[in-house]
Amino acid sequence: KTIITKASTVKDSLKDADVSVGQYDSIDPSVDSKLEDGMVIINIRRARPILVIDGQRQVRVITAAQSASDIAKTANIQLYAEDQTTLSPVDDILASGGAGLELNIHRAKVLNMHLYGQEILLRTQSKTVAELLREKQISLGPDDGMNLSPNTLISEGMNLQVWRNGIQTINSTEQ
C-alpha cells in the first residue's frame, strides 16, 4: 500500500493509512520512529499462530518471527546448532489449536567424548561413530585408539573415548 502523508512518525502514518497493527506484529522501522523527508518503506510482518513441537512438548505461540531460531526463542525453547528444524503447514488446523504452521524440532543426540584427556559434551545428528568423527573433523592417527568401533551406532548419552597410545594426558584442578 502506498500513501502520501504529512505524519512525522511511523505510528501517525499508519493511522493516516488506516492500517491497524496487533501487539505481536513486527513493524520496521518501529512505530516510534520519526519520518524524515522523502520516501520511507514500512514493513509489517503479521503475527500468526505457530505450533512448536519439541519431542513430547507442544507450545503454541503467536509471533511474526520468520526463522526457526526466532520462533523457538519466542516459545522459550533453546536450539543448538546441531538440532534440525522443519517449518511446515499443519494438516488439521482445528487439532493444532488454530495454528496454521508447525515448527518441528529434531533434537541432536548428546554424547560424552573423552578426547586425548579432555572431556567434551557433543551433539550430533550423525548415525555412526565414523560419521561423527568426520562431522567434528577429528582425524585419528596411526597411534590412536577408540573404545568403540567406527561402525557403532550413535545413541543418546553414549561415551566415546579416543586416546593416543603411549601418551597420557592428565587434567587436574588444584586449589
CB 129, CB 152: distance < 8 Å? yes
The pLDDT value given to residue 167: 57
CB 55, CB 31: distance < 8 Å? no
Q: Which of 10-19, 22-31, 72-81 has the highest mean pLDDT?
A: 72-81
CA distances to 33, 60, 111 from 120, rounded to whole Å, are 47, 34, 8
Q: What is the value of pTM for the model shown?
A: 0.73
CB 47, CB 62: distance < 8 Å? yes
Q: Is the pLDDT of residue 124 over 90?
A: yes
Question: Considering only CA atoms, which of 33, 31, 40 is closest in space to residue 4?
Answer: 40
74-123 pLDDT per residue, tens: 999 999 999 999 999 888 777 777 788 999 999 999 999 998 888 999 99
